[in-house]
Amino acid sequence: MNAMKETASPQSLSPEGEREMSDAGQTVLPSPLQGRGSKGEGQQNHALISPVSPRNSGLEAIRIRGGQSLNGTISISGAKNAALKLMCATLLTDQPLQLSNMPVTLGDLRTLAGVLSHIGTTAALRADGVAIFHTPEIKTPIAPYDLVRMMRASILVLGPLLARNHYAEVSLPGGCALGTRPVDFHIEGLRAMGADIVLEDGYIKARAPVGGLRGARYAFPKISHTGTENLMMAATLANGETILDNAAREPEVSNLAECLIAMGAKISGHGTSRITIEGVPALGGAIHPVLPDRIETGTWMIAVGLTGGALRLKNASLAHLGALLGPLGCSGVEIREENGDILATRTNGRCRGIDIMTEAYPGFPTDLQAQMMTMLTLCEGAGLVTETIFENRFMHVPELRRMGADITVHGSSALVRGVERLKGAEVMATDLRASVSLVLAGLVAEGTTTVNRIYHLDRGYERIVEKLAGCGAVIERVRG
């Protein structure tokens, strides 16, 4: 077995660290993981966060009194869209995987930790943003509907389970109401690697050939970041070479590839449209950081364009936000880097209307489309928003109209004519990014806005109320 490798620090998980993971605990299924029970000399006592019982935010709402500019500092969390995939990588090895900069309070992470726990993973989610996962054995290769239905990312246990265990049963996933997001590419790619797969009773039932998965060449008919990640993980333990063409280029895919390489995988080409993986007999553990969340970073940059003010964003990077910088600059938002932070400011009048079109990375992110549309509701002139990734991602439009926005939808495009003001209203979130767009609208609306169904928001934004309140917003979480 490969020794544990690290990518972030000179630490390693010693046998003493292993005992830390398994001696005590309040939070983990099926068996608890803990830190030391008391804080002694030379020791730190890190609080643990439950991976399986997120707050019942379905009964809560966010109430905002608009009219305040945003001024202050926000620390950007680790990227949810990277953290979830990194968690699934633990299924590829019987050694511990330690991840830092983890957004451990997010609902999606705790949901996936429950799925992994059912399979046989012990998981410690620490309040300091460190998470440790250990899957010494696959206790069951089944990811049941009751767990998987809560989030689509659960499909990413399929490739690792099949690669290591040679058999997997994974329920077809659920998730946000963003239209059809088929798993065909995952299935076709695994079949190309020799897997026998049937869809039966709502489950994907997959069996590897005798001796394990075989290296193959697979070209994605359409770019799929989760498909790329699933097949890349599966290929790390396959026999021979796998080449993925038309692969996703997102930085979260590269972050996963770098973690797998630290675990002993042989991967090249990540960050390009062709990824090559040479299978190895086994993977080891690793210590690896989650990259900063570019979508959260972009959300706060757009928020400044809407409210005015100045925000300093820490633990952030512009490296993966090139497609956002141009439109924001044209709209009147100033973005610059200073001492490792990002400074976003808008001090002169209203933002100007711009046009955007969502595309696969490195194009404009679909996960920032709703936020940008909200900014355009108060722009000078008009802006056109075209959505090419999801066919059902304008569900926030009726809620913005309730607040006075002038938006006309034509198929996959929405024409946004700037208005003088928005007015506070009761609104309802329909998905993760739509929910944060309604929060942004509430920040500038006259009067009070109440955003309901914020469980969507808690899936992807850490401590959003605290972060915004710290920058001058009048915002609170209330019973819905």
Q: Which residues are catalytic?
A: 176
Number of CB atoms found within 10 A of residue 470's CB? 14
CB–CB of 212/242 below 8 Å? no
Q: Residues 6 or more apart from 262 whose CB is under 8 A from it?
A: 5, 6, 7, 286, 287, 288
Beta strands across the sheet bearing 382-386: 356-357, 382-386, 413-417, 406-410
Q: CB neighbours of 121 closer than 8 A, spacing ≥ 6? A: 90, 91, 113, 133, 134, 135
**3-state class (DSSP) for residue 310:** strand
For 275, the enclosing helix (H) or strand (E) is strand 274-278
Radius of gyration of the chain (CA): 22
Strands 274-278 and 241-245: antiparallel
DSSP state of 378: T
Angle at 195 between CA 194 and CA 201, to 5 degrees: 160
Integer Cα distance of 318 and 315 in angstroms: 11
Distance, CA of 245 to CA of 72 (rounded, Å): 44
User: What b/e sequence results for 293-321 when a residue is b if at least 16 CB atoms lie within 10 Å of its CB, and e otherwise?
Assistant: bbbbbbbbbbbbbbbbbbbbbebbbbebb
Q: How far apart are alpha carbons 269 and 329 in whole angstroms?
A: 32
118: which DSSP letter?
A: H
Q: Are 121 and 135 in contact (CB under 8 A)?
A: yes
Residue 440 CB neighbour total at 10 angstroms? 26
Look at residues 366, 169, 220, 204 and name the one whose alpha carbon lies nearest to residue 232: 220
Strands 167-171 and 196-200: unpaired
CA-nearest of 133, 172, 131 to 150 is 172
Cβ atoms of 84 and 112 within 8 Å: the answer is yes
